[in-house]
Amino acid sequence: MAKRRIPWLILLPPLAFAALAGLLLGGMYSDRGQELPTALAGQPAPTAPLAPLGGGPAINTSAFADGEVKLVNFFASWCAPCRAEHPVLTEFAQETGVPIYGVAYKDIEANALGFLDELGSPYAALGADPSGRAAVDWGVYGVPETFVIDGEGRVIDRIAGPVTARAVTGRLLPALAEAGAD
């Protein structure tokens, strides 16, 4: 009896799928997207009002020029990279004392608050952007995105994608130094 051979073409679809899945995962967790430029660099941070989120302190965008360096982080409960960056942001806030303002992007309030209840909140204040209008003003491509704001309320840098330990040392800490943070 002759051996039956499986044509190699049958293996092509699963191999192609595996290759595309690998590229997607690699792109999702790489730092390359963080190099996207922002037109806001050196410009005042947008001050469009944000809806309050939960019962905690709301983001007062008119107070961005309070002399204190801060971060503004756009996140969503449905965003897997937001979940991945959350422990890094929490550790960063605890170690540096730099306030982080969280903006829930196109999220349902209960879901965003559940996300923060589950993981803890590194945020000094919270706002909601249910329509995505504020994100347009900030030039957000997608979540997560994090902006460094100097004490005069100007945008110093933007990290598009999840904040990783490498992004903290390679981007955030140098941007904070440039912004005059201690």
CA 115 – CA 56 distance, rounded (Å): 15
Query: In one letter, which amino acid is 20?
Result: L
Q: What is the CATH number of the domain that holds 85?
A: 3.40.30.10
Q: Is residue 154 part of a domain?
A: yes
Q: Is residue 22 part of a domain?
A: no
Q: Is residue 175 part of a domain?
A: yes
Query: Sheet of 100-105: strands edge to edge?
Result: 51-52, 125-129, 100-105, 70-75, 145-149, 155-160
Q: Is residue 87 part of a domain?
A: yes
Q: Is residue 6 part of a domain?
A: no
Structural domain containing residue 83: 35-179
- Residues of the chain with pLDDT below 50 are 31-34
Q: Is residue 20 part of a domain?
A: no
Q: Is residue 85 part of a domain?
A: yes
Secondary structure (3-state) at 100: strand
83: tokens are 């979940």
Closest CA to 120 of 140, 143, 96, 93: 93
Domain count, the chain: 1
Burial class (CB in 10 A: 0-12, 13-18, 19+), 176: buried
Quote the pLDDT of residue 111: 97
Q: Is residue 2 part of a domain?
A: no
